[in-house]
Amino acid sequence: MFTGIIEALGTIRALSPKGGDVRVYVETGKLDLADVKLGDSIAVNGVCLTAVELPGDGFWADVSRETLACSAFIDLKAGSKVNLEKALTLSSRLGGHLVSGHVDGVGEVLSREDKARAVQFRIRAPRELAKYIALKGSITVDGTSLTVNAVNGSEFELCIVPHTLGETIMADYRPGRQVNLEVDLLARYLERLLLGDQAAEPKASGLTESFLAENGYLKH
């Protein structure tokens, strides 16, 4: 688990095909690796990776085909800057929100606009994720815990303050950029819980308007 509070900017130094997937070397910059052991988790742009080698100034990790297919990780190359966060501990301060490090989908930056000293981004999420994105709710973009400022269908807006721009890769965002999205963990579990016994049925379709009406959640 993570908090979505980025601890450091890292750099992809190597991407090596290995057995059908990819092994990646991440130089971790100011991230303190003193307490990191082999097998520990580090989020890279919101993707939870396992450290398999620790040469000193970074770590090697394996990236599966599944991760490559479900995230914007495939767009990274040697020299790419990435957001880094070590896994949450019981003594950590939860400054953001609970983040699993499991990317739900890839979004696209549609626009960037200066708002005084802040920057407003408009991002389009995959249609299937739109129901989890709520006004003033939390969303994770490339591993960064953020508050949704506006929602219009599958598009949402974020207002990013100078500190966040300076401490994350968001300063480099331009229209057309692909970003990793993870929706609020609680929203996903709430959807499953509301299905009740139907959740055990094969190919449960999830919440629909008809299901909510039949079970008294909507008034006609």
Q: Where are the CATH 2.40.30.20 domain residues in the chain?
A: 8-86, 105-187
**What is 8-86's CATH number?**
2.40.30.20
> What are the C-alpha distances in Å from 93 to residues 70, 125, 164, 168, 184?
29, 29, 18, 19, 18
Closest CA to 84 of 61, 111, 109: 61
Least confident of 36-45, 122-131, 189-198, 199-208: 199-208
> How high is the pLDDT of residue 155?
98
Share of the chain above pLDDT 90, in %: 72
196 CB-contact burial (10 Å; exposed 0-12 / middle 13-18 / buried 19+): exposed
pLDDT of 206 higher than 70: no
Q: Global pTM?
A: 0.87
pLDDT of 220 higher than 60: no
pLDDT of 192 higher than 60: yes
The token pair at 218 is: 């909507």
**What is 105-187's CATH number?**
2.40.30.20
Average pLDDT over residues 195-203: 77
